[in-house]
A and B are shown apart, each in its own frame.
Chain A
Amino acid sequence: MLEPKTVLFLSALLFSAGMYGVLSRRNLLMLLMSLELMLNAVNIALVAYSRAWAGRQADIVGAHTGQFFTLMVMAVAASEVGIGLAIIVAIFRRKRSADSEVASELKN
Chain B
Amino acid sequence: MEVLFLISSIVCLLGTVLLLSHRNAVYGLLGLLVAFVGSAGVFRSLDAPFVAVAQVLVYAGALAVMFLFVLMFTDTRTSLDRAGLPLSVGARVNFKPEDVKKFKDEQAAQKPASLLQSVQLPQPLAAVIALAFFACLAFAIHKLPDHTWGSFGELPANYETGLVERVADGTTIDRKVGYGSTSAISYTIFEGFPLAFEVVSLLIFAAVLGAVLLARRHLEGLTAPSRPERAGGDSHGHSGAHH
Contacts and interface: CB of A to CB of B under 8 A. Distances in A.
Query: A and B: real partners?
Result: yes
Contacts, number: 256
- Scoring A33, A36, A51, A72 by chain B CB atoms within 10 A of each residue's CB, the highest score goes to A33
Interface string A8-21: 11101111111111
Given A29-B67, A33-B32, A78-B63, A64 B137 contact: no
A20 B130 contact: yes
A72 B200 contact: yes
A5 B215 contact: no
Contacts of B46: 7, 47-48, 50-51
Nearest to A71: B54
Contact of A40 (B59, B180, B200): B59
Contacts of A52: 149, 152-153
Interface in A72-104: 72, 74-83, 85-90, 92-94, 96, 98
Contact of A64 (B35, B43, B130, B180): B180
Size class of the A contact interface (CB-based, 8 Å): 35 or more
A29 B191 CA distance: 38
A17 B16 contact: yes
B5 A14 contact: no
Contacts of A65: 188, 192-193
Contacts of B67: 29, 32-33, 81, 85
Interface of B: 1-2, 5, 9, 12-13, 16, 19-20, 25, 28-29, 32, 35-36, 39, 42-43, 45-48, 50-51, 54-55, 58-59, 62-63, 66-67, 70-71, 73-76, 88-90, 122-123, 125-127, 129-131, 133-134, 137-138, 141-142, 144, 149-156, 159-161, 177, 179-180, 184-185, 187-189, 191-193, 196, 200, 203-204, 206-208, 210-212, 214-215, 219, 223, 226
B19 A61 contact: no
A70 B43 CA distance: 10
16 contacts: A5-B141, A7-B46, A14-B35, A20-B122, A29-B71, A30-B25, A50-B48, A52-B152, A60-B160, A65-B192, A67-B50, A78-B204, A78-B207, A79-B207, A82-B66, A93-B226
B144 A83 contact: no
Contacts of A50: 46, 48
A60 B159 contact: yes
B59 A74 contact: yes
Interface string A22-40: 0110010110111011001
A107 interface: no
Contact of A87 (B63, B184, B192, B214): B214
B54 to A, nearest CB: 6
Given A12-B137, A27-B25, A44 B156 contact: no
A74 B57 CA distance: 11
A15 B62 CA distance: 22
A40 B126 contact: no
A1 interface: yes
A73 to B, nearest CB: 10
Given A10-B9, A67-B185, A82-B211, A3 B150 contact: yes
Given A7-B46, A14-B12, A36-B59, A92 B89 contact: yes
Contact of B51 (A37, A67, A86, A87): A67
